[in-house]
């Protein structure tokens, strides 16, 4: 791609993300319905938060009755990694890249959108805000559409389809595992091992919510002490 990437180039590049987001968002919509949320409420969560794992955790925290600030802090801590995406992307885009409309398109900088945009730049593509809008809007639309469809279908939608329900239920662990593989490097192994072990121990000893929070903090601590 030698000319400036266009809006429709971004739309085209988003196709694999759209295919992945639709079923994951559908399963979020179903999970939200099971948790007692109305379709509009599930849609609002996707519209406002727009972060898959955080939204599933938000449901878990909400239904477990966790205090609002503790729940919000957990969700915020979970997405702190996104702080690194913008600078990394703009470094790859080069010094001439404009960011006048980043206040709008950057909200769509999810793990997958970031990965796709960075991959395009790494393969010799050029950066443009129009491309980022195309990439981000299609992914966001798929996320919202999937959520709404899942929430309307309702918590009992998959009762007659146990294998489909099982497949959708495995979507989230599969997504995390794939994301973990995408950022796996020798340098990150101690962080990953510490986070994983602490999560297991704290989950067994205290609770799943504590396991998640303590696992993240322990992993971040392991990163702090490494050379």
Partner 1 sequence: MTWQLFVMALLAGAANWAFRALPILLRRERTATPGWVERSLAAIGPAAIATLCVASLLPMLSSDLLALAPVIGGTLAVVGTYLARPSVVLATLAGAVVHGGMVWLLG
Q: Within 54-113, which residues bind partner 1 (CB under 8 A)?
A: 54, 57-58, 61-62, 68, 71-72, 75-87, 89-90, 99, 102-103, 106-109, 111-112
Map the footprint of partner 1 across residues 128-187, applying CB under 8 A. 162-164, 166-168, 170-184
Structure tokens at 9: 């180039």
Cα distance between residue 35 and residue 64, in whole Å: 10
Q: Which of 9, 11, 13, 20 binds partner 1 (CB under 8 A)?
A: 20
Map the footprint of partner 1 across residues 27-46, applying CB under 8 A. 37-38, 40-41, 44-45
- Which is nearer to partner 1, 9 or 198 (by Cβ)? 198
- Measured at the CA of 83, the angle between CA 79 and CA 89, to 5 degrees, comes to 120
- Which is nearer to partner 1, 2 or 172 (by Cβ)? 172
Where do runs of H (alpha helix) occur along the chain?
Answer: 7-13, 15-34, 39-48, 52-64, 68-78, 85-93, 102-105, 111-122, 129-153, 162-169, 171-182, 189-205, 208-225
Interacting span for partner 1 (CB under 8 A) from 4-12, 120-128, 149-157, 199-207: 199-207
> Is residue 23 within the footprint of partner 1 (CB under 8 A)?
yes
CA proximity to 59, closest of 180, 196, 172, 186:
172
Cα distance between residue 148 and residue 218, in whole Å: 36
CB of 7 to partner 1, least distance (A): 19
- Which is nearer to partner 1, 9 or 199 (by Cβ)? 199
Cα distance between residue 74 and residue 210, in whole Å: 10
Structure tokens at 16: 């694999």
CB of 140 to partner 1, least distance (A): 12
Cα distance between residue 207 and residue 12, in whole Å: 43
> Is residue 206 within the footprint of partner 1 (CB under 8 A)?
no
- Which is nearer to partner 1, 2 or 181 (by Cβ)? 181
How many residues belong to the site for partner 1 (CB under 8 A)? 93
- Which is nearer to partner 1, 152 or 192 (by Cβ)? 192
> Is residue 224 within the footprint of partner 1 (CB under 8 A)?
yes
Cα distance between residue 128 and residue 4, in whole Å: 6
Q: Which of 49, 130, 138, 154 binds partner 1 (CB under 8 A)?
A: 49
């Amino acid at each position: 791609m030698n000319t400036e990437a266009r809006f429709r180039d971004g739309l085209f590049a988003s196709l694999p993300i759209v295919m992945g987001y639709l079923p994951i968002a559908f399963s979020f919509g179903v999970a939200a319905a099971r948790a007692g949320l109305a379709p509009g409420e599930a849609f609002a969560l996707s519209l406002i938060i727009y972060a898959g794992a955080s939204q599933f955790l938000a449901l878990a925290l909400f239904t477990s009755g966790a205090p609002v600030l503790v729940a919000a802090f957990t969700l915020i801590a979970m997405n702190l990694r996104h702080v690194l995406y913008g600078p990394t992307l703009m470094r790859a885009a080069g010094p001439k890249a404009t960011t006048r409309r980043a206040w709008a398109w950057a909200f769509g900088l999810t793990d997958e959108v970031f990965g796709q945009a960075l991959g395009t730049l790494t393969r010799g593509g050029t950066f443009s805000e129009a491309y980022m809008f195309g990439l981000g809007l299609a992914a966001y639309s798929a996320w919202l559409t999937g959520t709404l469809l899942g929430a309307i279908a309702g918590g009992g939608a998959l009762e007659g389809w146990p294998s489909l329900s099982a497949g959708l239920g495995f979507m989230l662990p599969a997504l995390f595992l794939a994301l973990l593989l995408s950022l796996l490097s020798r340098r990150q192994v101690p962080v990953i091992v510490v986070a994983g072990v602490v999560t297991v121990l704290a989950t067994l000893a205290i609770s799943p919510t504590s396991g998640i929070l303590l696992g993240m903090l322990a992993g971040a601590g392991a990163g702090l002490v490494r050379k």
